Amino acid sequence: MAIIKVQTTSYDGQKPGTSGLRKKVTVFQQKNYLENFVQSIFNSLPIISKGSILVVGGDGRYYNKIAIKTIIKMAAAHGFAKVIVGQNGILSTPAASCVIRKNKAFGGVILSASHNPGGIDGDFGIKYNISNGGPAPEAITDTIFEQTKNLTEYYLSDASDDLITLNKLTTYTIENMEVEVIDSVNDYVEMLENIFDFSAIKKLFNSGFTLRFDAMSAVGGPYAKRILEDILGAKAGSVVNAIPLEDFGGLHPDPNPVNAEELVTIMNGDNAPDFGAASDGDADRNMIVGRHLAVAPSDSLAILAANAY
């Protein structure tokens, strides 16, 4: 293995917002398009980022794994000491924030286009989060954009993609950089246990409380399945569309009464569960559904705040 320099030509329009850079998959598949943007992120970081930790993961949409392998090779070239990546490349946006903070990482690269459709003809996205787990502020995204305008070269390891394992929990080395593949859910569960009263919620489910959670074939599925069914005791099958799919199973992972029509129909039925919910593509936004009542995400947050004490 060795670090190589690749000559490239800059692309117009690689301006990220706080939600990162979102384009069609076919745009990201252009020669060096992804590499240019990743190099621009790394070029914008201070020298102290070398020797630090980088977290990488995404919502499981099409092109996720391909992009992660490229990012790992470029991270090795930049000089990161370690990359932490979710198993199968999976990390919800809230979980990635948690992993960044827990491991005192310098930052993280999150691959998601949020609630936008997935698949080969869908959208792809990439964003940089800073050490506090939150999205990069405008000063950083502006610097990244300036870097994209005049980029002429990028650096990466020439390691074979076959050497970059994502599907099993393991640790290995690319160049001088350690790569750790972690359980995508564990750290997030640990954080939630310190925030919410899991014992009280278990008692609620033991009392016969029922729910239906639609993960919309997106990244929230593994988290909801582990937390709601395996740990808290919700009835098996309470979480539906729980396996992240590259095209979200043809669903549009934007939780609203139109895209989550099946959930709303069930909650309006005669034998509706006590509680319904759905999450979006990267699991940082939700819709709460009661019996004959859908609650907008902003309103559900207001309800939580009003009943916090």
pLDDT tens sequence across 225-244: 999 999 999 999 999 999 99
Task: Tell the burial category of 287 from Cβ atoms under 10 Å away from its Cβ (0-12, 13-18, 19+).
Answer: buried
pLDDT score recorded for residue 296: 72
For residue 113, pLDDT over 80 is answered with yes
pLDDT tens-digit profile of 21-37?
999 999 999 999 999 99
Alpha carbons 74 and 159: distance in angstroms, whole number:
10
**Active-site annotation, residues:** 114
Residues 2-30, buried b or exposed e (16+ Cβ, 10 A)? ebeeeebeebeebebeebbbbbebebbee
pTM of the model: 0.93
Once rounded to an integer, what is the mean pLDDT over residues 166-184?
97
